[in-house]
Copies of this chain bind each other. A is one copy, B any other.
């Protein structure tokens, strides 16, 4: 699968909206081996220090010309230290990891995103056929990332909770016309409550739905069994190796 564990050079790392950064790192696998929806485990190299201890999972945002890109929000110490990196610094990177969005050749797919759920979109748009992106946010400011998203030929419909841009309400309000219009699959990435609702709506119509899950991870590689998510039929699957992209029907959304 071409997964590697390397020390990679940062080619760019800059804030593109308050608290949100876009970082590119040198990655030999960026040109072909990585598939949309896959992720890497990343850590700012800090010689001799073991706090933070573990790498952090970030979706591959885009990949071309030997550079893998990530779009991330600064949340805590792991992402905080990533944000301090400058061009030429080193980052420890394991990847690409996990199950990608399926390849549904020629199919019409709608992507329902919330917040940072847009992160995997550019690579997805480059490699798969996405007809439409439905994007939810609480406020206009959360849409700042849109300006840097390179989504050639893909229309974006927006819903904000405060109505400042686009539809006033939830992003899931925008989905029914597409389900009724016979879209062939829905991809979704974002907060759990949103993905749960998307999954429920698709399930009710019998439309295939693929969700990109999140879970706390230690290894990202199937070693620790830490990233468990309950399956509909009982038992657990592991987000890092069975996912992050899974058939939404197999999840016990709870």
Which residues of chain B come closer than 8 Å to A48, judged between CB atoms?
52, 76-77, 80-81
Q: Give the chain B neighbours of A80 by CB distance below 8 A.
A: 47-48
Smallest beta-carbon distance A147→chain B, Å:
28
Expressed in whole angstroms, the minimum distance between the Cβ of A62 and any Cβ of chain B is 28
Q: In the bound complex, how far is the Cα of B37 from the Cα of A117, in angstroms?
A: 57
How many copies of this protein are present in the complex?
A: 2
A-side interface residues, number (CB < 8 Å): 11
Chain A, 28-53, CB within 8 A of any chain B CB: 46-52
Q: Which residues of B contact A46 (CB under 8 A)?
A: 46, 49, 81
Q: How far is the CB of A53 from chain B (nearest CB, A)?
A: 9
A141 to chain B, nearest CB (A): 24
Q: Which residues of B contact A76 (CB under 8 A)?
A: 48
A231 to chain B, nearest CB (A): 35
Residues of B within 8 A of A47 (CB): 77, 80-81
Docked CA distance A55–B181 (Å): 64
Inter-chain CA distance A253–B50, complex, in Å, is 37
Measured between beta carbons, the chain B residues less than 8 angstroms from A49 are 46, 49, 51-52, 77, 81
* Interface residues in A73-119 (C-beta closer than 8 Å to B): 76-77, 80-81
Docked pose: A52 CA to B81 CA in angstroms: 15
Closest B residue, CB atoms, query A53: B51
Min CB distance, A69 to chain B, in Å? 24
- CA–CA, A49 and B77, complex, Å: 7
Q: Kindly provide the distance from the CB of A89 to the nearest chain B CB, expressed in whole angstroms.
A: 10
Q: Hey, which chain B residues are within 8 Å of A51, CB to CB?
A: 49-51
- Smallest CB separation, A55 vs chain B (Å): 15
- The listed residue with most B CB atoms (<10 A of its CB), out of A46, A50, A77, is A46
Within 8 A of B (CB), among A49-75: 49-52
* Minimum-distance CB pairs A-B, first 6: A48-B77, A51-B51, A49-B51, A50-B51, A47-B80, A48-B80
A47-B77, A51-B51 given; 6 more Cβ-contact pairs under 8 Å: A46-B81, A48-B76, A48-B80, A48-B81, A49-B77, A49-B81
18 pairs from A and B in contact (CB 8 Å cutoff)? A46-B46, A46-B49, A46-B81, A47-B77, A47-B80, A47-B81, A48-B52, A48-B76, A48-B77, A48-B80, A48-B81, A49-B49, A49-B51, A49-B52, A49-B77, A49-B81, A50-B51, A51-B51
